[in-house]
Amino acid sequence: MTASFHPPQRLLLGPGPSNVPERVLAALARPTIGHLDPLFVGMMDELKALMRRAFRTQNALTIPVSAPGSAGMETCFVNLIEPGDTVIVCRNGVFGGRMRENVIRCGANAVMVDDDFGRPVDPAKVEAALKANPGAKALAFVHAETSTGVESDAATLCKLARDHGALAIVDAVTSLGGIRLEVDEWGIDAIYSGSQKCLSAPPGLSPLSFSQRAVDTLKARKTPVQSWFLDLSLVMAYWQGEGARSYHHTAPINMLYGLHESLVMLEEEGLEAAWARHRANHLRLRAGLEALGIDFLVDEAHRLPQLNAVRIPEGIEDAPTRRRLLDEFNIEIGAGLGPLAGKVWRIGLMGASSTPESVDRVLAALKSVLGR
Ligand X SMILES: *Cc1c(COP(=O)(O)O)cnc(C)c1O
Q: Does 70 bind ligand X (CB under 6 A)?
A: yes
Q: Which one of 51-59, 155-163, 168-176, 246-254 is the stretch in contact with ligand X (CB under 6 A)?
A: 168-176
Q: How far apart are CA 312 and CA 111, in angstroms?
A: 33
CB of 174 to ligand X, least distance (A): 4
CB of 7 to ligand X, least distance (A): 19
Name the residue whose CB lies closest to ligand X.
69
CB of 20 to ligand X, least distance (A): 14
| Sheet with strand 167-171: strands edge to edge | 61-65, 206-210, 190-192, 167-171, 138-142, 86-91, 109-114
Q: Given the complex with ligand X, which of 188 and 369 has the nearer CB atom?
A: 188
Q: Does 95 bind ligand X (CB under 6 A)?
A: yes
DSSP calls for 121-153? --HHHHHHHHHH-TT--EEEEESEETTTTEE--
Q: Find the binder of ligand X among 14, 69, 305, 351 (CB under 6 A).
A: 69
Q: Which one of 63-71, 160-168, 220-228, 341-349 is the stretch in contact with ligand X (CB under 6 A)?
A: 63-71
Phi–psi pair at 245, nearest 5 degrees: -75, 130
Q: Which one of 171-179, 259-267, 269-277, 362-370 is the stretch in contact with ligand X (CB under 6 A)?
A: 171-179
Contacts of 13 (CB under 8 A, 6+ apart): 331, 332, 333, 347, 348, 349, 353, 358, 362
Q: Does 171 bind ligand X (CB under 6 A)?
A: yes
Q: How far apart are CA 259 and CA 360, in angstroms?
A: 28
Q: Does 142 bind ligand X (CB under 6 A)?
A: yes
Q: Does 68 bind ligand X (CB under 6 A)?
A: yes
How many residues bind to ligand X according to rule CB under 6 A? Answer: 13
Q: Which one of 55-63, 77-85, 170-178, 226-234 is the stretch in contact with ligand X (CB under 6 A)?
A: 170-178
CB of 140 to ligand X, least distance (A): 12
| Strands, E assignment, the chain | 11-13, 61-65, 86-91, 109-114, 138-142, 144-145, 150-151, 167-171, 190-192, 206-210, 307-311, 331-335, 344-348
Q: How far apart are CA 307 and CA 147, in angstroms?
A: 9
Interacting residues toward ligand X by CB under 6 A: 16, 68-70, 73, 95, 142, 146, 171, 173-174, 194, 203
